[in-house]
Amino acid sequence: MIRKAFFAVLVLGATWLGASPAFAELRVVTTTTDLGYLVRTIGGDHVQLDTICQGSQDPHFVQARPSYMVLLSRADLVVAVGLELEVGWLPSLVQGARNPAINPGRPGYLEAATAIHPIDVPTGGVDRSRGDIHPFGNPHFWLDPANVKLAAHAIAERMAQLDATNAALFRANDRAFEQRIDRAMVRWTAQMAPYRNAKVASYHATFNYFFHRFGLSAIGYLEDRPGIPPSPAHLVDLIRQIREQHVPVIFHESFYNRSTSDMVAGRSGAHVLALPTSVGGAAGIGSYEQLIDYLVSHFIAGMGQAHP
Ligand SMILES: [Zn+2]
């Protein structure tokens, strides 16, 4: 009787704290909102989800806060992008959390990029002294919907491994998500078809998987190398290339200062597309499909405005 009363107090306590359902839930921390969207889609109410980097932030550079360490100390699973996207901030947070369950190599640590084939893998070795922040290939894989299906599948399998009670539900939700993406992909492919082989430029290499999926051709980047700020000599050369090749648009990640992209556009005749790169990165982008819809519709509108 005393035990039953104690149990009832525990359940009530958990309910008061807003944790529902009380005991079976998997506590997941994702580095990015896109991964958070996948975890929520797969896990529904059976996961307690926290996300560190907001959709309007540069995921390469996040200021480590003690509150993130607290979240990680209680987590059953951490889902990161990988390919060193978070190398500047996640390892120190994981170490500081002192939670062996989420150490790299354990089931509680998953890098989603292990499920995809990276592009832009450097050839001829990596020279870290030059500050390249994509040493193992381009980590921004989530802007290709085909990659997001692979990532979702890997996340669902890991969640099923950690929470066998809900494994069938996680797998069913994953299949439903993949079907949703397949249907949307028909629409995106048709919308983008007229622009196949269009030449574009961009600030950082964030959109390369999007370009790759829909057949756009990146002629260059404002950054000298990934993570290396633009130098005047490089920009002069890029402006010349944009003019000579009549490149209509410059993709610009909305978390970067626009002044350099605007200057290049002004001197080359191209049009700047300032775009979100993640779920939650702009008003009205609450889902992955809305993110890709936003990129597709703003690209098409930008192509209509450009007069190279
Ligand atoms: Zn990057």
Sorted by where each begins, the domain ranges of the chain are: 23-117+135-185, 196-305
Tokens 């896109």 found at: 34
- What does the block give as tokens for 158? 């890991």
- Given this chain, do its domains 23-117+135-185 and 196-305 carry the same CATH topology? yes
- Give the Å distance between the CA of 139 and the centre of ligand 1: 6
Tell me, in angstroms, the distance from the centre of ligand 1 to residue 59's CA.
8
pLDDT of residue 242: 98
pLDDT at 17: 40
Ligand 1 midpoint to CA 132 (Å): 9
Dist. CA 295 → ligand 1 center (Å): 18
d(CA 181, CA 214): 15
- Ligand 1 centroid from CA 305, angstroms: 27
Q: What is the pLDDT of residue 305?
A: 81
Q: In angstroms, what is the span from residue 249 Cα to ligand 1's centroid?
A: 20
How far is ligand 1, taken at its centre, from the CA of residue 133, in Å?
6
Domain 196-305 class in CATH? alpha beta
| Strands, sheet with 199-202, edge to edge from the N-terminal-most edge strand | 217-221, 199-202, 249-253, 271-275
Is the bond leading into 21 cis (omega within 30 degrees of zero)?
A: yes
Write out the chain's pLDDT in tens, 308 residues.
Answer: 344 444 444 444 333 344 444 455 899 999 999 999 999 999 999 999 999 999 999 999 999 999 999 999 999 999 999 999 999 999 999 999 999 999 999 999 999 999 999 999 988 766 666 668 899 999 999 999 999 999 999 999 999 999 999 999 999 999 999 999 999 999 999 999 999 999 999 999 999 999 999 999 999 999 998 998 999 999 999 999 999 999 999 999 999 999 999 999 999 999 999 999 999 999 999 999 999 999 999 999 999 886 54
Measure 208 CA to ligand 1 centroid, in angstroms.
10
Centre of ligand 1 from the C-alpha of residue 252, in Å: 13
Tell me how far the alpha carbon of residue 226 lies from the centroid of ligand 1, in angstroms: 6
Distance (Å) from CA 60 to ligand 1 centroid: 6
Task: Give the pLDDT score at 126.
Answer: 64
- Distance from C-alpha of 57 to C-alpha of 66, rounded to nearest angstrom: 18
Q: What is the pTM of this model?
A: 0.91
Distance 1 CA to ligand 1 centre (A): 58
Residue 84 alpha carbon to ligand 1 centre in Å: 9
Choose which CATH entry (3.40.50.1980, 3.40.50.620, 3.40.50.970, 3.40.50.2300) describes domain 23-117+135-185.
Answer: 3.40.50.1980
Q: Which residues pair with 199 in a beta bridge?
A: 217
Ligand 1 centroid, distance to 276 Cα (angstroms): 14
Going by DSSP bridges, is the β-strand pair 199-202/271-275 parallel, antiparallel, or unpaired?
Answer: unpaired
**Spacing, Cα 75 to ligand 1 middle (Å):** 26
| Distance from Cα 253 to the centre of ligand 1, integer Å | 10
Separation of 162 CA from ligand 1 center, angstroms?
Answer: 30
